[in-house]
Structure 1
Amino acid sequence: MLESKLDENQGIITLYPGDELREADFEYVTRLADEFLEKGGEIKGVIINARDFPGWESFNAMLTHFRFIRDYHEKIPKVALVTDSVVGKVGEKLADHFVAAKLRHFPFDDLKDAQQWIVEGKGTQQR
C-alpha cells in the first residue's frame, strides 16, 4: 500500500510506500494530482519517502507506475527520493536520461531537507 499526502499550501505530494506497490496506488495518486491541478494548484514536487524500495505487486502495477511517471514528469518539476535504498542513488542517475523533472536523492532521515529543496531550491545535496 502507498500512503499519499498532499500539502496544498506547499504544493508537495509525499508518498510513503509500505508494502509492494499496487495499480490502485498509482491510480489514486493520479486522481490526487489531477484534482489539485484542476483546482488551479501547482505541484512543486513529489517526495518518495521509504527506507527501502518495496517493489511492485504485479507487472501491471509496475506499468501503471511508469505511466504515471510518463504522464507527470513534465508537470512536476522536482522529485526527491528520501531513502537508504540503492534505488535512490541509481534512480537519480537514470532520471537525467528519461524525465524532465529534477530528481535528487536524500538519505532516509533527511525528509526536512527534501521538503526544503522542493520549496526553496535548497538541500544538502546539489545536482
Structure 2
Amino acid sequence: MIEVLESSRDDVLEVRIKAPVSDRDYTEVLMPAIDAGIARADQLRLLCILEAGASDFTLGALWDDARMGLARWRGFERIAVVSKATGVARTIRTLSILMPCPVAVFDPGEEDDARRWLTESLGAIHQTDLGNGVLHVALVGKVDADDYEEETRDLNAFIRANGTFRLLLDLREFDGWQGLAGVKDHFKLVRSHVADLDRVAIVGTRAWQKFVVRIGQRLLGKEARYFPADAFDDAKAWVSKG
C-alpha cells in the first residue's frame, strides 16, 4: 500500500509505504503523484516513510520501482527515506553516493528531522575577491548541484573582469558532495575554466585533498600547492605572490 500524505509545500511530496506493495500501488498512486509534483515544481523533494521491507514488494512492484527511478531521477532534487528495515536503510546509504540527487536515511520517529533536511541549506560556496586577480573560494558543508549553478555566474563575472586568475580554494569546512550531480558540476566547472587558471592553493584538513592536488597538478599542468588548515595565511601569501 502506498499513501500520499499532505504537505505544506508544492515542491515536497510525502508518501507512506506499507506492506504489501504491488505494482498497482506504483502505477495508480505513486507515479501519478510524482508526475503531478514535478509538473507543479519542476524538481521535487521526496519524503518516503518506508514501513515495509524488501520482501514486502511484489515482483511487479520491484520492476515499477526500477522503471520509475530510471525515468524520473532527474525530477528529484532531494530524497529522504525513513525506514525501520535495517537492510533497506543500509543499502540506501551505500548507494546514495551514486544517486544524481542528495539522499538521506532517517530512523523511525525522525520524520520531522527528515522534513527539515529536505528544505534546509546543506552547503554553500562563498567567493571573495582578494584583489589582483586572486579569488578565495570556500566550500562549506555538503555541496550540491544547485550551489554550483548559482556560483558559476559569479565566477564567470570575476574571470571576465580579471582574465587569468589565481585561486585560493578553502576546504577547511567542506564535508563533500551531495550525490553525483554535485561531483559532476564540480569537475565541469574546473574543466571549463582551467585555461584561465594561473595557480591554485588548496587549504584542507584531509589526506585525500593533498593527494588530489598532486594528481591535479600533473593532469592540468598548473602550479598547485596544498596547505594544512592552520597555514591559511601562508596559502594566501603564496597564491598572491609574483
The aligned amino acid for 1:16 is: A
3-state DSSP of counterpart to 1:77: strand
Greater strand proportion: 2
Q: Does 1:15 align with 2:137?
A: yes
Deviations 1:68-122 (A, max 9, x none): 111111211111110121122201211133213322100111111111111115x
Amino acid at match of 1:2: A
User: Does residue 37 in structure 1 map to residue 178 in structure 2?
Assistant: no
Matched, 1:84 2:205: yes
Query: Aligned letter for 1:30?
Result: T
Q: Unaligned 5+ residue runs, structure 1?
A: 122-127
Q: Which amino acid aligns with 1:73?
A: V
Runs of 4+ in 1 over 3 A off after TM superposition: none
Give a deviation string over 1:39-86, Cα, whole Å, max 9, x none. x32453222223364111010110000101111112111111101211
Q: So what's the TM-score if we normalise by structure 1?
A: 0.81
Which has a greater percent of helix? 2
Distance of aligned partners of 1:105 and 1:120 in 2 relative to their CA distance in 1, 3 Å threshold: same
Q: 1:110 maps to what in 2?
A: 231
Contact 1:44 1:118 in 2 (8 A): no
Where does residue 169 of structure 2 map in the other structure?
Answer: 48
Q: Is the 8 A contact 1:73 1:100 kept in 2?
A: no
Aligned amino acid, residue 220 of structure 2: V
Check the 8 A contact 2:125/2:143 in 1, yes or no. Answer: no
Cα gap change, 1:9 to 1:116, in 2 (>3 Å): same
Alignment partner, residue 57 of structure 1 = 178
Give the Cα–Cα distance (whole angstroms) in 1 for the partners of residues 142 and 164 of structure 2.
25
Structure possessing the higher radius of gyration over alpha carbons: 2
Q: How does the TM-score come out when normalised to structure 2?
A: 0.45
Q: CA deviation at 1:12?
A: 2.2
2:194 to 59, 70, 73: 73
Query: Percent of pairs identical after alignment?
Result: 22
Unaligned runs of 5+ in 2: 1-122
- 1:2–1:21: 8 Å Cα contact kept in structure 2? yes
Match for 1:93 among 208, 214, 230?
214
Structure 1's 67 and 29: CA in aligned 2 closer, same or farther, altered over 3 A? Answer: same
Larger mean CA deviation between 2-11 and 91-100 belongs to: 2-11
